[in-house]
Amino acid sequence: MLKEVFNNRINPITTFDSGGYGPVLRPAERELSSLRQQIFELIRASGRIPRSSIARTLDVSPGSITALTADLIADGYIKEVEGVTRETSRGRPPVALELVSNALHVVGVKLSDENHTAVLTNFSGKVLASTDLKAKAERKTKNQLLSDTELLIKQLCDISKVSQNSISAIGIGISGKVDHETGVVVWSPLLIDTEIPLGSFFASHFGIPVCFDNDANVLTLAELWFGAGRALNNFAVITVENGVGMGFVSNNQLFRGDHGMGLELGHTKVQIDGALCRCGQRGCLEAYLADYALAREASTILGISPDEPQILSDALKKLYTKAASGDSVTLTIFDRAGRYLAIALSNVIHLFDPKLIILSGQALRYDHLYSEKMLNEMRTLALHHSRYETQIEIQPWDQLVWARGATALAHTLLTRTVIAEGRQKL
């Protein structure tokens, strides 16, 4: 059914044609950075590129490129390689530049209320190890989350045989409202307390920079840095599982809002004085569409309590089984949730006019949510008589992809500090 409803395209989270990784920046975005950083980011995105191509792309003199790349080589971030195809039929093949794979290592972590995941990658973006950790379905303290993260990193180092001392930065995705710039988690369904400076708390413990962001943002970064989204200028990612999240890329850059906490789609209001959301307010989109909302709707039908998290997944499976068998009452629950998803999609289209909306998350395994009926409802609500129609796609990402997206947080930080300014920053 998925293939019948949605258009296929490049498989996400695959190596880009060039072999590099990171967003393919356009001139306007590149000019915001120093020339040294521009050169590095172009080499990273290209995978392997000769100095002459760098000079033409950045419209800079060959002499300047030679001097700055020499500095990057001296710092141990890039190296010369042979064997690049010559650009003309005459002369020696040009020497190219690429990243030094073992120059730095970073860790990406996705903290969840069910299963934590983590990956360790080298400087070339290659995943060296991955692991996961079963999480207790309860709100935690900052010390408990720190202990879980510490265990994940130890497992990664044991698997990869990489020393923890060689890790230069950590990126972490967590659900809720996160101030990315300060590292403060304002609110999260995973935490007992609010307004917690997890970034500085974790950084103090590990002795290296630790970046936090909303989990929907890190999933969007996974597409932007490692997937087909590298070639897209404008797209949105909407996640539907334990909550409803959204990430948005504009001009090849992740949009966060003025305070770093924008695009909380799940907490936009769709019903005045409506259903209770886990954030404490009423009428949020999430309260009608997320896993716990579906389980709450199904509690009467299945004769179970939706407040017992250990049986939430079982409840949803039973609910879907009844819907698949044609049970009219159960189908009504999915139809209602599908209508709210259609409302969300049409609102995103009206507000942002994205070229593509990617839907992801565990709840979307229930095809009743993304049926042709839902798409027709979305088209009815949207201004679909426009010359252009937003493409809607499902991406069946696994949980490790969220963690890989979190590595982009660490790579971004290192690029703006040690890469842009040199080894003296380490």
**Nearest-angstrom CA–CA distance, 318 and 311:** 11
∠ CA 366-372-376, nearest 5°, is 125
What's the pLDDT score for residue 195? Answer: 96
What's the pLDDT score for residue 237? Answer: 94
What's the pLDDT score for residue 15? Answer: 36
Q: What is the pLDDT along the chain (426 residues), one digit of tens a residue?
A: 333 333 333 333 333 345 799 988 777 666 678 999 999 999 999 999 999 999 999 999 999 999 999 999 999 999 999 855 555 545 556 689 999 999 999 999 999 988 999 999 999 999 999 999 998 878 899 999 999 999 999 999 999 999 999 999 999 999 989 999 999 999 998 999 999 999 999 999 999 999 999 999 999 999 999 987 887 889 999 988 888 999 999 988 899 887 767 788 999 999 999 999 988 899 999 999 888 888 887 776 666 665 555 456 677 777 778 887 888 888 888 888 889 999 999 999 999 999 899 998 766 666 666 678 888 888 888 775 555 688 888 887 778 999 999 999 999 999 999 898 876 555
What's the pLDDT score for residue 25? Answer: 78
What's the pLDDT score for residue 327? Answer: 82
Domain boundaries, given as residue ranges, for the chain: 2-99, 105-221+400-425, 233-394
Superfamily of domain 233-394: ATPase, nucleotide binding domain (3.30.420.40)
What's the pLDDT score for residue 232? Answer: 85
User: In terms of CATH architecture, what is 105-221+400-425?
Assistant: 2-Layer Sandwich (3.30)
Other CB atoms closer than 10 Å to residue 114's CB: what's the count? 16
What's the pLDDT score for residue 384? Answer: 59
Q: Give the N- to C-terminal CA distance of the chain in Å, as an integer.
A: 51
∠ CA 414-418-421, nearest 5°, is 130
DSSP 3-state of 48: coil
DSSP code per residue over 69-126: HHHHHHTTSEEEE--PPPSSSSSPPPPEEEE-TTS-EEEEEEE-SSEEEEEEEETT--
Question: Which DSSP letter does residue 415 get?
Answer: I
What's the pLDDT score for residue 17? Answer: 40
Nearest to 345 by CA among 225, 236, 204, 421: 236
115-122 β-sheet, strand order: 127-134, 115-122, 105-111, 167-174, 210-214
78-81 β-sheet, strand order: 49-50, 96-99, 78-81
Task: Please count the CA atoms within 13 angstroms of the CA of 16 that sit on its side-chain side.
Answer: 24
DSSP 3-state of 271: coil
Give the CATH class of 2-99: mainly alpha
∠ CA 276-306-341, nearest 5°, is 55
What letter represents residue 36's amino acid?
R
Domains 2-99 and 233-394 equal at CATH topology level? no
DSSP 3-state of 17: coil
